[in-house]
Amino acid sequence: MKSIRISYFTDILCVWAYVAQRRIDELKATFGDLVAIDYHFCSVFGDVPGKLERSWSQRGGVEAYSAHVRGVAGAFDHATVHPEIWLRNTPNSSISPHLFLSAVKLATNDEAVESGDTQTAFGRATWELRQRFFTNTVDISDQGQQMAIAKDLGLPIAAVEAQLRSGRAHAALSADLEKVREFSVQVSPTLIFNEGRQRLHGNVGYRVIEANVRELLHHPPDELSWC
């Protein structure tokens, strides 16, 4: 059976992407090598002060947004958030951690760096940033915090810094943002299937994602039937 590729777009600061991580983990555990997930970043929270002003200034401000995030997470047993989420150590932008993670991905994929499994390193770093933000209100847009996480995870810090200095991490993040425009991604998280012909976005349950994957696995695009 031929494997399928899924392009997965998220913003590191998005609570819905935080909640959805368990669904992605379950997808990988269920289908294994039959599903290949390409991780990309979108910039929903690129300008946090501006977003909060535009979207929440007339709805109670950052206090109301904090309550909203806590309400979202409260509906899921596996999602834990700090009582002062978004109120304490509020990050200014998701672009900074996205850039850092782009550097991690490149650094741990470099043949000169013997750092183990690439996706594991990138995945661990992504999850650690999300978890520290949502559960400990760490300002993950701060580069010092990012490097502290890299040290705690045993990542190749010198190689990560080299990707940042060289501009390769910036190019990789720019390529992600080009894909955002190409696929007209507006929501985090968004899953793109079948070369852009199918998509799921927002708070989509696992069974819906699984059904789409099974349909594509058993009925490839060139064999799709009307039913």
CATH number for 147? 3.40.30.10
For the purposes of burial, counting CB atoms within 10 Å of the CB of 55, is it exposed (0-12), middle (13-18) or buried (19 or more)?
A: exposed
The packing angle between helices 15-31 and 61-74, to 10°, is: 20
Dihedrals phi, psi of 161, to nearest 5 degrees:
-65, -35
Q: In which domain, by residue range, is 189 found?
A: 4-223
| Token pair 């080299």: residue | 162
- What's the pLDDT score for residue 221? 58
- pLDDT confidence tier of residue 222, bands split at 50, 70 and 90: low
Helix, strand, coil distribution of the chain in percent, nearest 5: 55, 10, 35
At residue 90 the predicted structure's pLDDT band, cuts being 50, 70 and 90, is very high
Among residues 177, 178, 183, 185, the alpha carbon closest in space to that of 95 is found at 177
Backbone φ and ψ for 42, nearest 5 degrees, come out as: -120, 160
Q: Name which of 52-61, 69-78, 146-155, 217-226 the model is least confident about.
A: 217-226
DSSP-derived secondary structure letter, 4: E
pLDDT for 194 equals 85
Q: How many domains, the chain?
A: 1
Rounded to an integer, the average pLDDT of 155-181 is 97
How large is the average pLDDT for residues 129-134?
A: 97
Residues 6+ apart with CB under 8 A from 197: 221
- Tell me whether strands 198-201 and 35-41 are parallel, antiparallel or unpaired: unpaired
Residue 155 CA to residue 135 CA, distance in Å, equals: 22
d(C-alpha 126, C-alpha 46), whole Å: 17
| Residue-wise pLDDT tens digits, 101-130 | 999 999 998 544 433 344 579 999 999 999
Average pLDDT of the chain to the nearest whole number: 91
